[in-house]
Chain A
Amino acid sequence: DTGVSQDPRHKITKRGQNVTFRCDPISEHNRLYWYRQTLGQGPEFLTYFQNEAQLEKSRLLSDRFSAERPKGSFSTLEIQRTEQGDSAMYLCASSLENPRRAFFGQGTRLTVV
């Protein structure tokens, strides 16, 4: 499967714990995006990388959230001191420079209890 891969698919954590998600984009894609989707809503943009550079961040990405993309390959999204409001599906997508068509992964579903 050469699509966007996300790990884990599901994560249950206690409030206050830290969690980290991984995204492996399609290999030749230099652009990588993170979105958050809560129940009954469309995805909301979190952040965007071009290669290893984080070029855009949403105000949704509070100080407890950090994303990295070392070497411009896979990316990680870490949430520190999780809160119940962080419960959501976290989606990763990647694209080429041109055409800028985003391919999405299946997401990581986070439940904070």
Chain B
Amino acid sequence: AQTVTQSQPEMSVQEAETVTLSCTYDTSESDYYLFWYKQPPSRQMILVIRQEAYKQQNATENRFSVNFQKAAKSFSLKISDSQLGDAAMYFCAYRSAQGGSEKLVFGKGTKLTVNP
């Protein structure tokens, strides 16, 4: 079974600075997808960024980028120019691209605080 580990329960960053959230995963599959989701307090979870495992190029979405290291099974999220609105729980998630399973496997999350 696949597992996702987020080793940082909490992180903080100064507004306008850069922060990196860590995620590692365990799988025996070669084809899969990785995601970072953001869950603000009392708000719905939204997709921040997505990475296909077969793509070597790291995904980027505006101020959000990932460092995908397939051999190391590492998938970190970098947030540049942090804003107060970035404060939230961030979840790393895995989904298989094989075998027809649709489930997302989530880590326990990292709570990000942005200090003004």
Chain A interface (Cβ < 8 Å from any Cβ of B): 3-4, 31, 33, 35, 40-45, 48, 55-56, 58, 91, 93, 100-107
A98 vs B59: C-alpha distance in the bound complex, in angstroms? 18
Question: Closest residue of chain A to B95, judged by CB?
Answer: A100
Within 8 Å by CB of A107, from B44, B50, B91, B109, lies B44
Contact yes or no, B50 A101, CB < 8 A: yes
Q: Kindly list the 8 A-B residue pairs having the minimum CB-CB distance in the complex, ordered from nearest.
A: A42-B106, A45-B103, A104-B45, A48-B102, A106-B44, A104-B44, A42-B91, A43-B106
Within 8 Å by CB of B104, from A4, A43, A55, A106, lies A43
Query: What does DSSP make chain B's interface, helix, strand, loop or mixed?
Result: loop
Supposing A41-B108, A42-B108, A43-B91 touch, asked if A55 and B102 sit within 8 A by C-beta, the answer is: yes
Supposing A42-B91, A43-B91, A56-B101 touch, asked if A4 and B44 sit within 8 A by C-beta, the answer is: yes
Contact yes or no, B103 A105, CB < 8 A: no
- B22-76 interface (Cβ within 8 A of A): 37, 42-47, 50
Quote the shortest CB–CB distance from B11 to chain A (angstroms): 16
Q: Please, could you name 9 A-B residue pairs with CB atoms under 8 Å apart, sorted by A? A: A31-B102, A42-B91, A42-B93, A43-B106, A48-B103, A100-B102, A101-B47, A102-B104, A103-B46
> Which residues from chain A contact B91 at a C-beta distance below 8 Å?
42-43
> Which residues from chain A contact B101 at a C-beta distance below 8 Å?
56
Quote the shortest CB–CB distance from B15 to chain A (angstroms): 26
Quote the shortest CB–CB distance from B8 to chain A (angstroms): 14
Question: Closest residue of chain B to A107, judged by CB?
Answer: B44
Contact yes or no, A105 B44, CB < 8 A: yes
> Which residues from chain A contact B108 at a C-beta distance below 8 Å?
40-42
> Which residues from chain A contact B42 at a C-beta distance below 8 Å?
106
Contact yes or no, B44 A58, CB < 8 A: no
A100 vs B52: C-alpha distance in the bound complex, in angstroms? 12
A46 vs B42: C-alpha distance in the bound complex, in angstroms? 21
